[in-house]
Amino acid sequence: MKHRVKGRTFGVKSPNRKAMGRNMVKALIDHERIVTTIPKAKNFQPLAEHIIHLGKEKTLKNIRRAAQLIGDRELQNPVVVTETIGDGKDKQTKTKVKGHTTLQKLFNDLGPRNAKRNGGYTRIIKLARKRLGDAASQCLLELVESPFTKVEKA
């Protein structure tokens, strides 16, 4: 009997399963849409919902908790690229932000975007195609408040 047994094992040990969940949530936050199998999406959707809910309020407690759940220790370190153009007097140095960490995107972008939503930050859309290698059924795990999924009212 399966009383009080929660979640799926996916045929891997617990540390690998935790790492898989963290990696899926990081990819979901970074790309806002991922293609995965249906059991993985159903298993890790509550973790993604919880982390996005933490991103709604930018407090030190929530930042530390999200960093613990995601496993991202680079809290406020944007990826900065410095370019130098020209020589001598015409030498110019430009710095531009190439990307942000997962936590920065969570607290600066996704949190304010979902501020008015009380839950249901992600959705699972089943795809008709099967995966080539093992014919596993696939789905899209995506954020509801995403620029990809905006529906404009006519």
Distance separating alpha carbons of residues 57 and 62, to the nearest angstrom:
7
pLDDT number for residue 84:
79
Distances (CA, A) of 39 to 36, 60, 128: 9, 33, 15
Task: Please name the helix (run of DSSP H) or strand (run of DSSP E) that holds residue 82, with its range, or none.
Answer: strand 79-85
Give the position of tokens 């969940």. Answer: 21
Q: Which domains are present in the chain? A: 16-149 (3.90.1030.10)
The whole-model pTM stands at: 0.80
Lowest mean pLDDT among 19-23, 145-149, 150-154: 150-154
Could you give the CA distance from residue 57 to residue 54 in angstroms, rounded to a whole number? Answer: 6
Instruction: Indicate the DSSP class of residue 128.
Output: E
Percent of the chain with pLDDT over 70: 89
pLDDT per residue as tens digits for the range 56-87: 999 999 999 999 999 865 544 566 677 777 77
CA distance 133 to 131: 6
Task: Report helix, strand or coil for 13.
Answer: coil
Closest-CA residue to 77 (of 94, 102, 60)? 102
